Each structure stands twice: as structure tokens, then as C-alpha cells.
Amino acid sequence: MSWLRTRLFHAYARLRRPMTMGVRGLVENEDGHILLVRHTYISGWHMPGGGVERNEPCVEALRREIEEEAGILMNGAPVLAGVYSNHASFPNDHVMLYHVPPGIWTQGKATALAEIAEIRWCPPDDVPDGTTNGTRLRLAEFYQGQARSPYWSGKAP
């Protein structure tokens, strides 16, 4: 049933918004572990994030999304790590990836409890099975110096 809800949302978004923008947070803790979330409505492990609302600055969307999904309260400025085309979801989707290092956030309480099935902190070189290809590619770029791709999934549509 969740796949139907996702497909309906994508169809609606295509009609209402010719271009979409999303944000993801590469959130690190003091141990060098990164935060991954598993949603209830799509498969795989992802960096926390979501859609940017109309008239919402991207960094504020990131602040909202990581607080809702994982209870991360930013008290400093994240660093823009990259902008990617994400045509795997649908044409004209773009993702802004921000690095959220330790020292600019504190742990609060997540509020999107129905949206998140599981939250996990893990070393960037030891992510759980089911971690999405886009997430794995961003981690390889950020931590292993792999060449950057302009596409979230790593390949042109």
C-alpha cells in the first residue's frame, strides 16, 4: 500500500511542481558515525531529509526535516556538500546535500514517528544492508575521495 501512496504523491508533485527540490543531511556524531533513517513509505536506508516547501530556504527545510525525522536540533550552520540531479524519482528533481558535523547540533525528540521505521548511527564505511545506492555514493565521495557525480543515483537518466 505504501508504494501506491508514493506513486500517487509523485504523480501529484509532477503536476503541481515542474521542478522539485529536496535536502539531505550528512549528520555526524562525535564518534564519526553517520545518521541513517529507514522510512515507512519507501525502502532502504537514507540520510535524513525531505522536500523543500514553497518559499522555504533549503537550510530551513533541512533543519525541519532532520528534527522531525531524528530529533536533531541544529544550532549552527551546516555546510553545503553538493547539489545533485535526482531523476530516478522523477524528472527535474534535485537534492542539496548538507554536512552537519558534530558541534552544531544537539539531540532532541523526533516528531515524525509514523514516517520513520528505524534510526541508526553507523560508521560511514559500514552501513546497513539496504542502504540506497545514492547514499552509498555520497558517502564514498565524502569519506573516500571518490570522484563526484552530478547525479544522485550516480548515472545520467
pLDDT at 10 over 80: no
Q: Which three cell numbers stand for residue 147?
A: 570522484
Closest CA to 82 of 35, 146, 14: 146
pLDDT of the residue at 91: 77
What is the DSSP-derived secondary structure letter of residue 5? H
CATH assignment at residue 29: 3.90.79.10
Q: Which alpha helices (DSSP H) does the chain contain, by range?
A: 2-16, 58-70, 133-144
Q: What are phi and psi of 105, to 5 degrees?
A: -150, 160
Indicate whether 150 belongs to any domain: no
117 inside domain:
yes
Indicate whether 107 belongs to any domain.
yes
For residue 153, tell me if it sits in a domain. no
Q: What total number of domains does the chain contain?
A: 1
- The pLDDT tens digits for 97-131 are 999 999 999 999 999 889 999 999 999 999 999 99
- Residue 17 confidence (pLDDT) above 60: no
- Tell me the per-residue pLDDT of 65-107, one tens digit each, with 9 for 90 and over: 999 999 999 999 999 999 999 877 667 889 999 999 999 999 9
- pLDDT band for position 9 (50/70/90)? low
* pLDDT score, position 14: 57
Counting beta carbons within 10 angstroms of the beta carbon of residue 100, is it exposed (0 to 12), middle (13 to 18) or buried (19 or more)?
A: buried
Secondary structure (DSSP) of 67-99 = HHHH-EEE-S--EEEEEEE-TTTSTTEEEEEEE
In a domain? residue 151: no
Other beta carbons within 10 angstroms of residue 114's beta carbon come to: 8
Write down the mean pLDDT value for the chain: 91
Domain membership flag for residue 156: no
Residue 70 counted as domain residue: yes
Domain hosting residue 22, numbered range = 2-144
pLDDT at residue 61, as a whole number: 98
Question: Does 149 map to a domain?
Answer: no
